[in-house]
Amino acid sequence: MGVAKKTRKFAQVKRIISRRDNRLKENAGKADAANPQKAKTAGPSNEVVREIPQLPSSLFFQHNEALKPPYSVLVDTNFLSHTVQRKLPLLESMMDCLYAKCVPIITSCVMAEIARDERWERIQCAHKGTYADDCIVDRVMKHRVYIVATNDKDLIRRIRKIPGVPVMNVARGKYVIERLPGAPQ
């Protein structure tokens, strides 16, 4: 007779401590006691105090009143690549999606990643060497008059955390807008 193969059980291979495990909370308390610098920054209940940016007055009842036609659309690199893959005309498809005039805007960070086109408006960035997604998020945080056009899942996740900023993406051969009040879904 042959020797039986020994295989590991699935539950033994996939043991992972959950984020809510009490053992992690005990270790975090010991780390705070060992590091007095973190204890100074913590509030009364040992929570780190973070600043919450004040929302602009144009966000009235979760609707951004600063967004009006002609819409300024910040375009990301992967949005353009998906548009080219599906052979969609950029400006005409945006106008069909929003039922209004649109101005595609490309920052110099995104322009460094793609080919140049004279028909689109360009915005010069004051910083050097910043990732294009960080540039877009920073610009949208400062001025909430833009619609962000992207297919990047991480960038969409970051933009959704900013109130009053709609997101446009390419889905099923057409442009789709989300979080724009009064827009057809």
The answer to whether 28 and 34 are in contact (CB under 8 A) is: no
Q: Note whether residue 149 is domain-resident.
A: yes
When mean pLDDT is compared across 4-8, 62-66, 119-123, 149-153, the lowest value belongs to 4-8
Rounded to whole angstroms, the Cα distance separating 69 from 103 reads: 9
- Ramachandran class of 84: left when φ > 0, alpha when ψ lies in -120 to 50, beta otherwise: alpha
Mean pLDDT of 79-96: 93
Q: Note whether residue 125 is domain-resident.
A: yes
The answer to whether 119 and 86 are in contact (CB under 8 A) is: no
What is the predicted pLDDT for the residue at 147?
A: 94
- Give me the percent of the chain exceeding a pLDDT of 90: 36
Mean pLDDT of 9-27: 65
Domain CATH code at residue 80: 3.40.50.1010
Total Cβ atoms within 10 A of residue 62: 10
Rounded to whole angstroms, the Cα distance separating 91 from 95 reads: 6
Q: Note whether residue 50 is domain-resident.
A: no
Rounded to whole angstroms, the Cα distance separating 119 from 105 reads: 10
- Whether the pLDDT of residue 67 is over 70: the answer is yes
3-state secondary structure of 2: coil
Q: Note whether residue 87 is domain-resident.
A: yes
What is the predicted pLDDT for the residue at 157?
A: 93
For residue 135, what are the domain limits? Answer: 66-178
Mean pLDDT of 81-85: 92
Higher pLDDT pick, 147 / 3: 147
Q: Note whether residue 18 is domain-resident.
A: no
Q: Note whether residue 126 is domain-resident.
A: yes
Please, which pLDDT band fits residue 42 given cuts at 50, 70 and 90?
very low
Rounded mean pLDDT of the chain? Answer: 78
pLDDT in tens, 109-148: 888 777 566 777 888 888 777 788 999 999 998 888 999 9
What is the predicted pLDDT for the residue at 97?
A: 92
Mean pLDDT of 61-77: 84
- Whether the pLDDT of residue 87 is over 90: the answer is yes
What is the predicted pLDDT for the residue at 130?
A: 73
What is the predicted pLDDT for the residue at 120?
A: 77
Q: Note whether residue 7 is domain-resident.
A: no
Q: Note whether residue 16 is domain-resident.
A: no
Give the chain's domain count.
Answer: 1
Mean pLDDT of 16-28: 70
